[in-house]
Structure 1
Amino acid sequence: MIEIENLTKRYGTQTAVADVSFRCETGTVTGFLGPNGAGKSTTMRILCGLTPATGGRALIDGTPYRNLPNPGRAVGVLLDASAQHAGRTGREVLTLGTMVLGLPRERVTQVLDLVGLDKKAADKRVGNYSLGMRQRLGLAHALLGNPSTLVLDEPANGLDPEGIFWMRGLLREFADRGGTVLLSSHLLHEIEAVADHLVMIGNGRIAADGSKQELLAGAGTLVRALEPEPLADALRRAGVTITPTADGAFLADAEALVIGRAAAAIGAVLTELRAADGAGLEALFLQLTATASTSAPAGAINPSMEVAR
């Protein structure tokens, strides 16, 4: 289990994370979502003992990461797949890991097989790896100690569709065996496919925290029109809050009847009108993070700053 309690991180007068609290239960995958600069990576770095918190605490099975007797055996971490030594081979990177963790060398072959890196890839220098191969090696390193918890920041970057499908199955199986996964990703459809629980953060504050079913059930109504702008204006005049989606539709916080009447009043032609359901995560993400941006903590870090990513 992961517990984040009232976590705050300030850099001088700038606030990266402000009073953040959430839990990742055992046997679940928690999707940690937010735009660049929202505080995701800062929170995960604090959790993994890489950055000290200004206030609050982050616990793994009731213990701070730095107090775990052999943390690599309890927690698998992948925060930056490009951090591996470029001059070593993949096999050498993992072999050094077994030496540090006190594991048998046979474990290297086991995790290489698990992540789909064959002998040719394992004996190649990491500097010659593609980004997708680095991600697989990073996952192998995270799994090396057979941990009960995984903390992964954008692990699908560089993976092709087949690789993303493979990773989804790996994480789902890990959680179903009783593991705990905290997964940050900008690939919303993949998060929706694998996560049990969703935590959304914007400008250092939690914007939403709940099960996938709970959050998406209230995602609103999806509407699409032949001429979207006049409809958008009509809905706003009717007091309806709308959020544009990436494919040109709107997510509206009103019932279909209200939207239909507003469209009829201006003669708008609707091409789609339904409960948001499956389209809900992207629209909910845009809606909640937009709301969070209007209530940013004083001195909040600019979203473009890498330190608060």
Structure 2
Amino acid sequence: MIEVEHLTKRYDGRAAVDDVSFTCAPGSVTGFLGPNGAGKSTTMRMICGLAPPTGGAARVCGVPYRRLANPGREVGVLLDASAQHSGRTGREVLALAAATMGVPRREVDVKLDLVGLGAGAARRRVGAYSLGMRQRLGLAHALLGDPRVLILDEPANGLDPEGIFWMRGLLRDFADRGGAVLLSSHLLREVEAVADQLVVIGGGRVVASGGTDELLADAGTLVRARDGEALRRALAKAGLAATGAAGPAASPGGGLLVPAEPGVVGQAAADAGVALIELRPAGAGGLEHLFLTLTGGTSTKETTA
């Protein structure tokens, strides 16, 4: 339902997004991950027609977003929860959107109830909303037209743990009914819990993509020894490539990430007489470790249009 092909965006000759390609299929939640400045928001803005690409193309429901006759009935978008008229009430925000999209007025109350904004909250002006309430209103707006696709940038910001759990169930139910979700979030454990597939970008380029379980299983082996240099030599002698593990694994003890099974790595160390103090599948650290390994744990300020 979302097709991104070789999408590129340059600002003053610098590539904020560089040849990014991926798809989001019906019935799935795609986690779109990367450090600050990696190009996530810029990519989502291009998908939604808010920023023209320098190269490549993006289609939603088979056509560029700007060619959708009534976008809100096809695609629900939440890119910035604060981008709502602060002087209107929550109900007025949705009522105006419903009139614009040709959605029956009764759906306003249905969606407000769905996201947990009761009658009292709906009568309050948006300027008095907390960030969590704005996120719920933004989700209600995205869902108002009963779209087939959701594009959400950091929708869990400001939600308490109960709200995050609720949102996870909402997105899972949407996908299970045949919808497609593109979800950007810094809450990696929540993404791991709900996403069927992952797209990880760093420095504007895709560094990994595929099924969540597949990527975590293929993360390789984390190995550590007191003598890090001896371990590197042992691995090189066995023909095993190794890189310094990013994030918490990058300890003074010499944590290394090796694209091989733990048994193979352990045998190489044993053959060289290197004593190990850690040997485990890298995927055992979950999505957080995989993310740090792939992106190097770096973040920069993201350029926006």
Give me the TM-score of the superposition, normalised by structure 1. Answer: 0.87
User: How many aligned positions are there?
Assistant: 293
**Cα deviation digits, residues 166-225 of structure 1 (max 9, x gap):** 0000000000000010000111111110000110111111111111122111112245x7
Structure 1: which 4+ aligned runs deviate by more than 6 Å?
Answer: none
* Residues in 2 aligned to 1:98 and 1:75: alpha-carbon distance in whole angstroms: 14
* Residues in 2 aligned to 1:3 and 1:40: alpha-carbon distance in whole angstroms: 15
1:42 alignment counterpart? 42
2:287 alignment counterpart? 281
Q: Counterpart amino acid of 1:304?
A: K
* Residues in 1 aligned to 2:70 and 2:47: alpha-carbon distance in whole angstroms: 15
Indicate conservation of the 8 Å contact 1:219/1:280, yes or no.
no
1:299 alignment counterpart? none
- Where structure 2 has 5 or more consecutive residues not aligned to the other structure, the ranges are 237-241
Indicate conservation of the 8 Å contact 1:235/1:241, yes or no.
no
Indicate conservation of the 8 Å contact 2:244/2:257, yes or no.
yes
**Cα deviation digits, residues 238-263 of structure 1 (max 9, x gap):** 44323144477756214434357649
Name the SS for the 2:69 alignment partner.
coil
Decide whether aligned partners of structure 1 residues 267 and 214 sit closer, same or farther in structure 2, where only a CA change above 3 A counts: closer
* Residues in 2 aligned to 1:87 and 1:127: alpha-carbon distance in whole angstroms: 6
Name the SS for the 2:289 alignment partner.
helix
Q: Counterpart amino acid of 2:288?
A: E
2:161 alignment counterpart? 161
1:298 alignment counterpart? none
Name the SS for the 2:286 alignment partner.
helix
Q: In the TM superposition, what is the alpha-carbon distance from 1:96 to its structure 2 partner?
A: 0.8
1:297 alignment counterpart? none
1:305 alignment counterpart? 302
- Deviates further, 259-268 or 93-102: 259-268
* Residues in 1 aligned to 2:96 and 2:67: alpha-carbon distance in whole angstroms: 22
**Cα deviation digits, residues 250-280 of structure 1 (max 9, x gap):** 5621443435764995656x3x533233423
Indicate conservation of the 8 Å contact 1:251/1:283, yes or no.
no
**Cα deviation digits, residues 127-186 of structure 1 (max 9, x gap):** 111111111111000001100000000001111111111000000000000001000011
Indicate conservation of the 8 Å contact 1:32/1:198, yes or no.
yes
- Where structure 1 has 5 or more consecutive residues not aligned to the other structure, the ranges are 294-301
Are residue 86 (structure 1) and residue 86 (structure 2) matched? yes
* Residues in 2 aligned to 1:27 and 1:185: alpha-carbon distance in whole angstroms: 19
Q: Counterpart amino acid of 2:103?
A: L
* Residues in 1 aligned to 2:157 and 2:96: alpha-carbon distance in whole angstroms: 25
1:290 paired residue among 271, 286, 296: 296
Give me the TM-score of the superposition, normalised by structure 2. Answer: 0.88
Percent of residue pairs bearing the same amino acid type: 65
